[in-house]
Structures are given as structure tokens and as C-alpha cells.
Amino acid sequence: MTALKIPKRISTALINSLSAGVVPRIGLEYVAVDRKEEIAALLQDLENISEAGAAFRFIVGRYGSGKSFLLQLIRNYAMERNFVVGDCDLSPERRLTGSHGQALGTYREIMRNLSTKTRPEGGALAAILERWFSTVQAQVVKESGMRPSDHDFNEVLEGKILEVVNNMEGMVHGFDFAAVLKTYWQGYRENDDTMKDSSLRWLRGEYSTKTEAINALGVRVIINDDSWYDYLKLFAKLVSDIGYKGMLVILDEAVSALDKSVEAQVLNMLVDLKEELGLTYVFISHDLNVVQYLSDRVLVMYLGKIVEIGPVEAIYGNPQHPYTRALLSAIPIPDPKLKRQRIILEGEPPSLFNLPPGCGFYDRCWARKPSCRGEMPPFRDIGDGHFVACFAEE
């Protein structure tokens, strides 16, 4: 057996995060064990985005079941495959909709956390733009045979950059977005840090008054609670146009921070996003009704492992794993005359540090057999993309 070599920078970050009890942001692939099927399913979503598709993906499970770990793992795989990833942990201050800066707070967090393969720890906005400029520069050299010192070189280069930028002017808010990108390009070309910093601040939604934006950039609008969604769309289009495979947005606890009066609007907005954009959401929720409403495919996790995966209709209409059945039996029916047979699970989940052999659900499962203790149940294909990790067969 060959020893696994982990770069010092990564091993230190891993140890620090694990000692503090938080999910590490880098190096997770070195500590992920037995996640092959889960990863393959999520990688299929990335394939769909790279082919201009879109999807929601919900990850459902109890606290501590490993959902955030899996999300961080996918975030890392997405960056490795040349996606731009933006992520945000929602909270009362960072919501999908709000009128006192809470919605803008979400946008700011996504833009602050933008990550790529070469900037995995976030803060990649400037690097994304500058990589684009240098890629176009190399293209111009290759295609035209010109050298950067040639008289017309900058003009040809600018033409190629403005081709992409001008393409965005027809979209909602595209004119101002394009104007700010042009200013960043100008700052880059003239080595003017003030112009570059002002443009980045605007793109990150950090101007709080229009006056500031006019003075700094000559742009009469700023990104706010009402418009952030349009700018996220513009940014997603930009990254696809400049050579990335697409954009992945990860929202942790996406609807838990909302009150019910706005939740429905937000959910509908997310459905619109799915239709209109090449965005894919990996969406975590404990709200099973929300999961059913929004998702195409559902993963159910227990103790850090996926126990069932499949199309939403199959999971809700024909759940196979005893844990999935218990979860779904807890959904209230909004009719006092109807009653659902609730499945109450016995006991508590075991410690993640001292997992029992065989099936992790064994001690709480009413359908268990002695053989379930012997080995971990593999995924069983029950057709139409529905898989269950359980030895019990119907």
C-alpha cells in the first residue's frame, strides 16, 4: 500500500478545521471515505450544467448527518472541473428576499466567496476577470500573429473583450453591468488600481448609495435587495461566456431563515431561476414539503451516507428505505380529518466516532435482519434512476 501524501498547506487546514469541529473548505477529498455513489450522482449534475442545463438538488437529513461535508466536497470537485462556485450560509441577516439589506447580504456573501480552481478559498472575482483578459490576449496573439508590443494590438484585444461585454447589454440591468466591466478593463489596461477597486466594489454590491457609485464610476444604479437576482444571472452568463463550465451556487439552510409569508415567493423565484438560467443549486433543507416542491432528484442521508436517491416522484410516492419512510411519515397533512400513520423511530443515532458495523440504521430499524449487521448495504437499482441502500426487499 502506498502512503497518501497530503500537501502540508492542506493537511494543516484540515487538522485545524477538524479540531475546531467545522467542515474544512479544502482537502476534503483526502478524508472522504466510501462516498463513491453520492459523488457520482452529484457529478452528473455538474455535467448537466456544463451542457447548458440546470437543476435543483436538495440534500436532506438530520443535523449532523454529513450534508455540509458533502456540499463542501462537491464544491471542491466543481472547482477542479473548471466551474465557478459561489456559496452562502443563510441566516436572519442573509436571506433570499428582504428589504433591509438581508437579500443584498446573500448576494454579497456569494460574490465574496466566489471560488475557482486557482482561488479555492474565495475572493476570486478579480482573478476571474483578469484570467479572462489574459486568455483573450493569448488568443489574439495566436489568431492574428500580432505581438503585445504591436501598435494595433490593444485595439484588437479590446474589441474581443467588448464583444462579450456588449453582448450583456440587452439583458435586464445588462447596460450598467457592462459599463462596470468596461471600467474594470480600462483600469486593468491602464494599471489603475482605483478604477479596478471601484468596479470590484460595485460588482460585489458594496456601494450603499447611488451618489457613491456615480462619483466613483459614473454608473447611476447600485445592486440592492430588489435587483441582486438579476445581477447574479448576469454574472452566471459572464462566467459561461468567458470559458468556465458554468456557475454553481450552494445555499446552506436555504429556506430555514425565511418566515412563511415570503417563503412561497422565494420558492417560486427559485423555480424561475431553474427555468431561465444555467444555474444548478445544491439545496439543503429539513423542510420536506419544500424539497418535494422544488427538486428534481432527492438524496436522503443518514449518518453521513446517502441511503436513498431518486426522482422526487419515486422518493415521495414509493419510498423504499425505512429511514425515508419514517421521515416522510412525519409530514403533516393539512386536513384535520385525515391522519397519517406516523412511524416513530426508537433510540438515537449512534456516535459518528463509533459507528456500528454493517447498516448504520440497524439499531433503529423495524425491518432489520441479523444479516444487516454483517456488511454495509450496497445501492440496489430499483429502476428509473431510483436507488436504495438497504437489504430489505419489497
Residues interacting with ligand SF4, by CB under 6 A?
A: 322, 359, 361-362, 365, 367-368, 372, 377, 390-392
User: C-beta of 39: minimal distance to ligand SF4 in Å?
Assistant: 22
Q: Is 284 within 8 Å of 58 (Cβ atoms)?
A: yes
Residue of 335, 322, 339 whose CA lies nearest to 390: 322
User: C-beta of 314: minimal distance to ligand SF4 in Å?
Assistant: 17
Residue with smaller CB distance to ligand SF4, 122 or 358 = 358
Q: Is 207 within 8 Å of 213 (Cβ atoms)?
A: yes
Residue with smaller CB distance to ligand SF4, 31 or 367 = 367
- Please state, in angstroms and rounded to a whole number, the distance separating the CA atoms of residues 226 and 205: 12
Q: Tell me if residue 25 falls in helix, strand or coil.
A: coil
- 151: its cell numbers: 501598435
Residue with smaller CB distance to ligand SF4, 382 or 392 = 392
How many CB atoms lie under 10 A from the CB of residue 268?
A: 12
Residue with smaller CB distance to ligand SF4, 102 or 324 = 324
Residue with smaller CB distance to ligand SF4, 282 or 326 = 326
- Please state, in angstroms and rounded to a whole number, the distance separating the CA atoms of residues 207 and 197: 12
Q: What is the DSSP string of 359-388?
A: -TTGGG-TT--GGGGTSPPPPEE-STT-EE
User: C-beta of 394: minimal distance to ligand SF4 in Å?
Assistant: 11
User: C-beta of 302: minimal distance to ligand SF4 in Å?
Assistant: 9
Q: Which residues contact 97 (CB under 8 A, 6 or more apart)?
A: 103, 225, 258, 262, 265, 266, 269
- Please state, in angstroms and rounded to a whole number, the distance separating the CA atoms of residues 58 and 55: 10
User: C-beta of 369: minimal distance to ligand SF4 in Å?
Assistant: 6
- 343: its cell numbers: 412511524
One-letter amino acid for residue 306 of the chain: I
User: C-beta of 319: minimal distance to ligand SF4 in Å?
Assistant: 12
User: C-beta of 58: minimal distance to ligand SF4 in Å?
Assistant: 21
User: C-beta of 392: minimal distance to ligand SF4 in Å?
Assistant: 4
Residue with smaller CB distance to ligand SF4, 257 or 388 = 388
- Judged on CB neighbours under 10 Å (0-12, 13-18, 19+), 168 is buried
User: C-beta of 62: minimal distance to ligand SF4 in Å?
Assistant: 15
- Please state, in angstroms and rounded to a whole number, the distance separating the CA atoms of residues 298 and 313: 9
Residue with cell 477529498: 29
Q: Is 140 within 8 Å of 198 (Cβ atoms)?
A: no
Residue with smaller CB distance to ligand SF4, 293 or 379 = 379
Residue with smaller CB distance to ligand SF4, 24 or 322 = 322
User: C-beta of 187: minimal distance to ligand SF4 in Å?
Assistant: 59
CA 132, chain centre distance (Å): 22
Half-sphere exposure in the Cβ direction for 323 (13 Å, CA):
26
Residue with smaller CB distance to ligand SF4, 231 or 302 = 302
How many CB atoms lie under 10 A from the CB of residue 147?
A: 9
Residue with smaller CB distance to ligand SF4, 167 or 329 = 329
Q: Is 147 within 8 Å of 141 (Cβ atoms)?
A: yes
